[in-house]
Amino acid sequence: MAKALICIDYTVDFVADEGKLTAGKPAQAIEQAISRSVQTAYNRGDYVFFAIDGHDDNDHFHPESRLFPPHSIKGTAGRRLYGQLHDVFQTIKTSDRVFWLDKRHYSAFSGTDLDIRLRERGVTTVILTGVLTDICVLHTAISAYNLGYQIEIIADAVATLDQNRQEWALAHFETVLGTTVTTL
Per the structure, the complete domain to which residue 108 belongs is given by: 2-182
Q: Residue 62: is its pLDDT beyond 70?
A: no
Sorting pLDDT into bands at 50, 70 and 90, what band is 65? low
Q: Residue 145: is its pLDDT beyond 80?
A: yes
Q: Residue 64: is its pLDDT beyond 90?
A: no
Give every CB contact of residue 138 below 8 A, 6+ residues apart in sequence: 106, 169, 172, 173
Find, among 150, 182, 138, the residue nearest to 36 by Cα: 182
Give every CB contact of residue 137 below 8 A, 6+ residues apart in sequence: 8, 128, 129, 130, 131, 153, 158, 169
Give 120 or 56, the one with higher predicted confidence. 120
| 138, 172 Cβ separation under 8 angstroms | yes
Sorting pLDDT into bands at 50, 70 and 90, what band is 55? confident
Mean pLDDT of 8-34: 97
| 117, 99 Cβ separation under 8 angstroms | yes
Total of domains in the chain: 1
Q: What is the 3-state secondary structure (H, E, C) of the chain?
A: CEEEEEEECCEHHHHCCCCCCCCCHHHHCCHHHHHHHHHHHHHHCCEEEEEEECECCCCCCCHHHHCCCCCCECCCHHHCECCHHHHHHHHHCCCCCEEEEEECCCCCCCCCCHHHHHHHCCEEEEEEEEECHHHHHHHHHHHHHHCCCEEEEEEEEEECCCHHHHHHHHHHHHHHHCCEEECC
The whole-angstrom separation of Cα 39 and Cα 89 is 9
| 90, 50 Cβ separation under 8 angstroms | no
Instruction: At 4, give phi and psi (nearest 5°).
Output: -135, 130
In the prediction, which pLDDT does 72 show?
Answer: 84
Q: What is the value of pTM for the model shown? A: 0.95
Sorting pLDDT into bands at 50, 70 and 90, what band is 71? confident
Find, among 177, 118, 180, 131, the residue nearest to 157 by Cα: 131
Q: In the predicted model, what is the mean pLDDT of the chain?
A: 95
In the prediction, which pLDDT does 85 show?
Answer: 98
We report the CATH number of the domain holding residue 85 as: 3.40.50.850
Q: Residue 134: is its pLDDT beyond 90?
A: yes
In the prediction, which pLDDT does 30 show?
Answer: 98
